Amino acid sequence: MIEMFHVYKSYVEGIDVLMDVNLHVSKGEFVFLTGVSGAGKTTLLRLMNCTERATSGQVLIRRRNVARLTSSSIPYLRRNIGVVYQDFKLIRRRSVFDNVALALEVLGTPRAEVQRRVMDVLRSVGLQHKYLQYPPTLSGGEQQRVAIARAIVNDPAILLADEPTGNLDPDMTIEILKLLMDINNRGTTVLVATHDRSIIERLRFRTLVLEKGRIYH
């Protein structure tokens, strides 16, 4: 599902953020990516959803070499990849419903179907009753659930989560992780980047450790 071969990434010449990264994440897997802040976790995720391109090496998403993709075809690849961030990235002036609907609107989904699927996914994250509210009126955990709902509403093959519990208290953290596992159980490949060792130890999924730009399995 996600493969990397000898991937290097540098923003400034001579300083590699990622060095000779090789990894393989299979279809339907749940994988943790860990490492201290600045280890390159976010950069690695950005390579996976094509927000960045590798300086050298191969990145294959669903067997497609992203280096060969043209800029105009990247949006179509992204539609297969849901992304969740620590800071939620919700549009504050749009309702919960509109935030989630955005992921379907870019596909040109008919309005009635958008209505049905958004409400379904909000139900699955337990926020169906808050669909008219605006992000600033929600708690951190609720905002993250909206972000997850947006990431999965179009049934992506892959879900990337960058420190999804970074801003949440322990109870909320468990809630969000349960949600991510549910999504994984339904067949979505999930990759969670976190520096929180307690989560990793508790859940015992395969873990990729990133240290100074290198992967240790």
Partner 1 sequence: MVLGQYIRYLVVRAFQNIRENKFLTVVTVAVITVSMLLFSSFLLLYFNLANALENWGHDVQVSIYLRDSVSETEARAIMAELETHQEVTASSYVSKEEALESFSRSLSGVAGIIDDLGTNPLPASIELTLRDDLADTAAIEAFVDSIDRQEFEDVDWSQEWVEKFYAFLDLLRWSGIVLAGLLASASVFIISQTIKLGFYARRDEFEILELVGATGLFIRIPFLIEGIVQGLTGAMAAEVLLFVAYRIVHGILDTGLQETLGAISFRFLPSSYLAGIVLGGMGLGLLGSILSVRKVVRVGAD
Q: Tell me whether residue 99 or residue 124 sits nearer to partner 1 (CB atom).
A: 99
Sequence-distant (6+) residues with CB within 8 A of 14 are: none
Helices (H), the chain: 41-48, 74-78, 96-105, 111-124, 140-152, 170-185, 197-203
DSSP state of 94: S
DSSP state of 116: H
Please say whether the dihedral angle defined by the alpha carbons of residues 98, 103, 107 and 109, taken in this order, is positive or negative: negative
Binding mask 166-185 for partner 1 (x = CB under 8 A): --------------------
Q: Which of 91, 129, 198, 216 binds partner 1 (CB under 8 A)?
A: 91
Determine, following the binding rule CB under 8 A, whether residue 16 of this chain makes contact with partner 1: no
Q: Tell me whether residue 36 or residue 106 sits nearer to partner 1 (CB atom).
A: 106
Q: Tell me whether residue 94 or residue 195 sits nearer to partner 1 (CB atom).
A: 94
Determine, following the binding rule CB under 8 A, whether residue 136 of this chain makes contact with partner 1: no
Determine, following the binding rule CB under 8 A, whether residue 116 of this chain makes contact with partner 1: no
DSSP state of 157: S
By CB under 8 A, name the binding residues for partner 1. 49-53, 71-72, 74-79, 83, 89-93, 102-103, 105-111, 150, 154
